[in-house]
Amino acid sequence: MSSAALPDRYAVAGNPVEHSQSPFIHAEFARQTSQALIYERLLCPLDGFANAIRAFAADNGAGAVRGCNVTVPFKLEAFALAARRTPRAELAQAANTLRFDAESDGGWLADNTDGVGLVRDIEHNAGAALAGKRVLLIGAGGAAAGALGPLLDARPAALVVANRTLAKAQELVTRHAGIAGASALAACLPHEAGSSFDVVINATASSLQGDAVPVNAAVLAPGALALDMMYGPAAQGFLAWAEAHGARGRDGLGMLVEQAAEAFFVWRGVRPASAPVLAALRARLAAKVH
Ligand code: ATR
């Protein structure tokens, strides 16, 4: 069989990677859009990401390897590895999507679809338009960095980045100052975040570590949307806190599906419908729990 007849190959690269839902999501997208592709898991050694990616990209015997998603802890390395970066990856200084374009086409492209996925989930799936709203982003690590640019693109009235290490929040804000437009963009410590935000986004690992939510409940306007980028047990602490204080809790599953949909579009030029895949993913995870 010629390789032209074989499906294109993709993977999610990370460490750990065995619990990643990306293979399920992309298989659903491929089925829905009739795209011939295979999507695998690629466990990369902690000290050998670049070599593992290069070997995967060169392994074209079973179908052309076209790209990969990148997850924890390699998003910074993925960004560094590419010949070209999209503006949103430049702002994030991190990449969750690589497209292995030929050198004659400019070489590997690094993109970051996390923030666009987050905004699409908030605005389309959760129905909370961000324009003119007060938004609090908690955390200033890689996850927050990916979100900030696309959140600003949605034109909130105010966007506050709160982090326990203030200098990291300030650095993030400084890097994004040029695209803030009319949005009031500021950095602060979590307990100084102020009050009455319409949308509160947890981009910290605090729930994962079983720690208390680092901000005061006064940050939540009545009926606010409170979204944790995590899902499953890791999001429960934040969601319980939000709902106990009158907010609408939302986990990170919608963001996960939306960032995947955007990556699928970057690779295939086809935009899949995310809603049925999000529903299928929720059902799949619920069935695993029970
Ligand atoms: P990620 O790629 O998931 O964003 P990261 O870059 O290590 O991971 O960033 C983790 C974020 O969670 C940081 O903002 C971190 O705060 P510091 O910058 O002060 O380290 C935040 N974080 C982690 N544990 C936390 C906790 N228990 N309470 C509050 N913030 C926490």
Residues 125 and 217 in one domain: yes
Count of structural domains, the chain: 2
Query: What are the phi and psi torsion angles at 131 (to 5°)?
Result: -60, 130
Give residue 2's pLDDT: 47
Q: Active-site residues: which are they?
A: 75
pLDDT exceeds 50 at position 44: yes
Contacts for 57-60 with beta carbons within 8 Å, 24 or more apart? Answer: 57/100, 57/108, 60/3
27: domain range?
A: 3-112+256-289
What is the band of 4 on the pLDDT scale with cuts at 50, 70, 90? Answer: low
Residues 133 and 235 in one domain: yes
Residues 128 and 36 in one domain: no
User: Considering only CA atoms, which residue is closest to atom 13 of ligand 1?
Assistant: 141
Residues 135 and 225 in one domain: yes
What is the band of 133 on the pLDDT scale with cuts at 50, 70, 90? Answer: very high
pLDDT exceeds 90 at position 259: yes
**In which order are the strands placed within the sheet that holds 184-188?**
184-188, 158-162, 134-138, 197-202, 220-228, 248-250
Give residue 278's pLDDT: 98
Pairing of β 37-43 and β 8-14: parallel
Instruction: State mean pLDDT over 127-134.
Output: 98
Residues 156 and 210 in one domain: yes
Residues 281 and 213 in one domain: no
Tokens standing for residue 220? 């939540």
Instruction: State mean pLDDT over 100-114.
Output: 98
pLDDT exceeds 60 at position 250: yes
Give residue 57's pLDDT: 98
Show the ligand 1 pocket: residues with CB < 6 angstroms: 139-144, 163-165, 168, 203-206, 209, 211, 214
Q: How far is the CA of 214 from the centre of ligand 1 (A)?
A: 11
**How confident is the model over 271-281, as pLDDT tens digits?**
999 999 999 99
Quote the CA–CA distance of 237 and 103 in Å, as a whole number: 46
Residues 10 and 106 in one domain: yes
Q: What is the share, in percent, of the chain residues with pLDDT greater than 70? A: 98
Residues 8 and 103 in one domain: yes
Pairing of β 65-70 and β 97-99: antiparallel
Residues 91 and 123 in one domain: no
> CATH number, domain at 154?
3.40.50.720
> CATH number, domain at 45?
3.40.50.10860
pTM higher than 0.75, yes or no? yes
Handedness of CA 269, 270, 271, 275 (dihedral sign): negative
| Residues shown for the chain | 290
pLDDT exceeds 60 at position 1: no
Give residue 290's pLDDT: 64
What is the band of 208 on the pLDDT scale with cuts at 50, 70, 90? Answer: confident
Q: How far is the CA of 273 from the centre of ligand 1 (A)?
A: 32
Per-chain mean pLDDT for the chain: 95
Q: How far is the CA of 210 from the centre of ligand 1 (A)?
A: 13
Residues 131 and 235 in one domain: yes
Residues 215 and 281 in one domain: no
**How confident is the model over 12-42, as pLDDT tens digits?**
999 999 999 999 999 999 999 999 999 999 9
Bond from prior residue into 73 cis (ω within 30 degrees of 0): yes
Residues 90 and 130 in one domain: no
**How confident is the model over 58-76, as pLDDT tens digits?**
999 889 999 999 999 999 9
Q: What is the share, in percent, of the chain residues with pLDDT greater than 90? A: 93
Q: Of all atoms in ligand 1, which is nearest to the CA of residue 168? A: 18
Instruction: State mean pLDDT over 40-51.
Output: 98
